[in-house]
Chain A
Amino acid sequence: MIEFKSVVKRFGDRTILKGVSFEAKQGEILFILGTSGTGKSVLLKNIVGLLKPTSGEIWIDGEEVSQFTENEYFRIRKKCGMVFQHPALFDSLTVFENVAYGIRKHRPETTEEEIEARVKKCLSLVHLHGIENKKPAEISYGMQKRVSLARTVAVDPTMLLFDEPTTGLDPVTTNAINQLIFDLSRELKTTSLVVSHDMHCALDIADRIMVLDKGEVIEEGTPEDLKNSEQPLVKDFLMEIV
């Protein structure tokens, strides 16, 4: 479970998050919608300690983590998988090594045969086959994003954080990834926080949707609640799918 209590995040004089509070329960899919620059990615990075909040509390599975040191955060990060806005693959490693890296790091007891099987399975989840020996620079951007997703799910995280996972992908792959997020949540009870602009997909698979505007939560509820929202920004998002 992830809980934010009045989290404020400043960069110098700019306040990005202005007292954000929300809760994501285990197995829930929470979509975070908002226009560019409203602090969605900053919010995700605060959860895993890549950024530290200026004030407020962040609770993960009953632990207040905002004061954790880099070493203490490793325990939390082992539970979380994060798909970044950029593919963030390691250029010097092959696709196989990229996906296997996390398994080797988090589960050193895993045998090479098990790693190979796991990598192949994760790549097939994102519809990728036969590219294991290629370097990230040798595959398309869309494929890199899918490899990044495969790398994230390879370590069986209990919480998944997606920062615009389908941006730049074709509709078929977008649907496959949305389905994957849905399946992981239902089968493995993985908590998923998805930062996205895609209202259509949010209405399709989200349990709850939170709308962020200028660092504040302006709307939160089930997809049905949002359809009836009077917030102009939410209406704009809904207009997009009409």
Chain B
Amino acid sequence: MIKQLLLVLLVAFITPLSAQQIIQGRVTDAATGEPLVGVNIQIKDTNYGAVTDLDGNYELRIPGSGGQFFSRKASPPVLVFTYTGFETQEIDSKDRDRVNVELTTTASELQEVVITGTATGRSPKLMSYSVGRIAGPAIGRVPADNLGSSLQARIPGLRVSRPGGQPGQEVYYQIRSANSIANGQQPLVILDGIFLSEGSLADIPVQDIDRIEVLKGSAGASLYGSQAANGVIQIFTKRGKDLEVGKTKVTYRNETGFSEVVDQYPVNTLTQREIIDSGEPQPILGNPNEGQLFSQELPNLQNYQEDFLFQRGVRQSHALIVEGKTNATNFLASYQRLQDKGVLQGLDGYTRNALRLNLDHQVSNKFSVYLSSAYTQSEQDLIEPVANGPNNFLSSTLLMTPMFTLDAPNEEDGTAFDWDIDNTGANITNPLYTRENISNRLGRNRLLGQAGVSYYPKEWLNISYAAALDRSVRNFEQYLEKGYLSTTLPDGFGTLATANVQGSNGGGILQRDQVDQTFISRLNVSAQRGWGGFNLATRLGFLYEDITQEIREGKGEDLAVRNLNSLDNARSNITISSAAQEIVAYSGFLVADVDYKEKYLFSGLLRREGSSLFGPENRWANYYRVSGAYRITQDLKIKPFQELKLRASMGTAGIRPTYEQRFEAFSLVNGELTKNTLGNELLKPAQSTEQEIGLDATIGRSLRLEFNFSRINTDDQILLVPLTAAAGFRGQWRNAGSLEAKVYEGGLNIDFARLFRFKGTAMRWELFTTFSRVQQTVTSLDVPAYYTGPGAQQASLFVIEEGRTLGLMEGEIFATSLEQLQGQEGINPADFMINDLGYVVRTDQLGTAQEAPYKLRDAGGNPIVDVIGDINPDFRMGFAHTLAFRSLELYTLFDWKKGGDIYNATKQWLYKDLRHAEVGDNPNISANFYGSNGLYNALVANNHFVEDGSFFMLREAALTLMIRQQSLGGLFKKFDHIRLSLIGRNIFTKTDYSGFHPDVSSVPRSESLLSTSAPDARGSDLTTPNGDPSLFLVDSFNYPLPRSFTFSVQFGF
């Protein structure tokens, strides 16, 4: 200690003698090694500085009177290197007259300030509850067509479900656990302050994104009240803020490539029937052979999938982004166009055009105004969702016996495809005929906007007002061409859509316009003061929400002319319907973030909210949060921790009832009045209470760790309480159950370059790992245990019962061991054996046409129904890995799901007509073993179709070459940079799952049709809640998840 003191004194005396110090050096890009021009170098705590020249060199002259600060601090100057887009570095210049520096680009996962849920914005270091963050560049490497998809595997605890790979398809989220039994798990999604209706991110181009913040549960998201129990995702778009004053930046990016199906679906190419006629185009099969064995190849064998179903679909996007900044104004304007043909032949896929303008303007030093606006228009050519049975192009192609010449002409009317070519008895309409004659198109126009003013009467005080609007108009059209011949019709169409029925021309049209609008208006008063080591930030806010929906629908059949997509074309069975709803909510809140010397951190919040969705008896709900954290390493040096923070937080948030749950009653369709559900004047939002403990640690500069444990209790679940049929109403939505979840989640960021001390090299090597494990249980249920599921076919697959895990599948059980036969009435286990497929069969029937799997039965002879699967995985992990050397970067994202079952309803359907490849795989087992009296089991759920959904996949990869201006020559000299990337998505999957891909969820019915069923809005029907893809993992002819490879080039000006 004395030695150190002497040294300080010595320095203090000696340094004033050296009149002027000169420090020189060069600043380069760590990634490329190229010199950086215009880097700002400043001596810390002074106004002295310099800027690098064209070669990245600088010279810093410390004035002669420099002694004034050397003597004061008794330490050599610290140089601060700052450069937009790069991490700021501070370097101690002690004993050095040359300081060369390599700057690295801003680390993507680290943002300076968290806005969501806080009083005035806080540094992540000072947060006392967990917040997931992701920066634009991290998701921009492999831009997804749906922003939601970009979040998968990157934020601990955030799960993204995508029902399939249909271009433009909506995705669904679950943050931490499932908190709702019947209302879905969609979080509140906010874009630049705009509350997005239905949480849809399908219209937001990834290129516009600056950063995303995720509040994971009630402990963090209480500020958003009854919309926040499922978490909050807030997205911020770029605004040109970070540019230098006077600079305008123009970026153009093009990405072109293709998507394809990884593997064909395995279908049976054999037959057990005699071949009566093998000629084209319609071979004829006769009766089954004696043993019902698949002994011969189908005649005229076809590969429908290769020839007619799948294609390499072109995928292309263009983006033009202009950002600029002047003294008082900064802005971003962008246009993006995305076109994804998809992997199914004959469909137009998805096209999206998006425009954005963001603008901030400083009117005076006390007044600023801001504007965020976006307009998106998109068009989707859809296959019909398979909610009630497969009738679409994809499913029919798989179900059709592959022996017909599908492009044979139609003998009835000479058109392109013979609709009734299937003569096997399965009567499947020629899928090409379906594709050509039925179209489903969804057009969407969405306007997003927010305008606000901000007023600073004092430096520490801010008053701001903003109004925001999300208006989306969806136009859905289903069109069946005049002359349509098949009796297989889309859901909702009647018989006159088939030509020749009662003299009908056939054909039909349905048009549905849905306008959703969310308007919010909010006023915030925030203040920020510090005194005596305390820092206090508070915000008082008021929020008004007005959410409306209007639907108009018209439908008709028996078209007058061909090719006319107008409702006027319909001549018969014309129906019209409309629906409207309006939701109003008011809320006020007070939030305060306090810290003492940035060491002890506290946050508290109170919110009171009233909504028209709460019954008049429970019109107002209260929410709170308290949280605290202790940054231990501010007090104690604990090796090897650079930073160690312990956190604890507790808070409440809610789940709003839907409009249909709150209000009764009589549904009025086409003037006919029938009873539906009984309204509930006492209904209140489900209430979620979360306790979260966690830690954040930085270890040796190279490791950053976050770990959270949270326990979530969601009470007052909104459930349909069935009423006796005598009441007339089907049921009433009441607060009638509780869920409990335990969540373990973590994130670990390893900077290998620092860990292995790659000094002076231009190497970056980082791995960001996420982990989560969830256990969720129904802790109380005030209704009798019940079954639920997606769509009519699987309506009774998932059991909801007190004391049991949420996500259990129940079904009938085919015995797989002789022990299971113990206690089976009238059964002698000695008469049975296990066959080659592992199922129990009667020994005397082995190898005969009667061989059938033994189904467990109760004493009354009825099949036993018991647990056959559980959707909940053991854990999920994500690995985002970046390896870069100079200007070359390889980025990969791996996604790992361990455990968790999927119900493979696609396979069960394919067993129906013996079309699945497995059916023909075993030459000794008869068709009956698989068919109606066997495993197919007349579509009743059973253990054979439950499969382990584990997978490990390379979800994204990008190889990028960044060429900066300094290295560009000739014509390219004018560019600021050129960035070239090879991009792959869903590249490789390791799984035992037998379907297209294990990362599936149920397909919600995308368009609920008023004229056929009024009460089917999400969450409004118990047996088919119609849209909780997170909960119902059922594979039912989902559009396959494609693999894509693209090449992108980006020019910066």
Do A and B pair up? The answer is: no
Q: Point out residues on B near A: beta carbons under 8 Å.
A: none
Q: Point out residues on A near B: beta carbons under 8 Å.
A: none
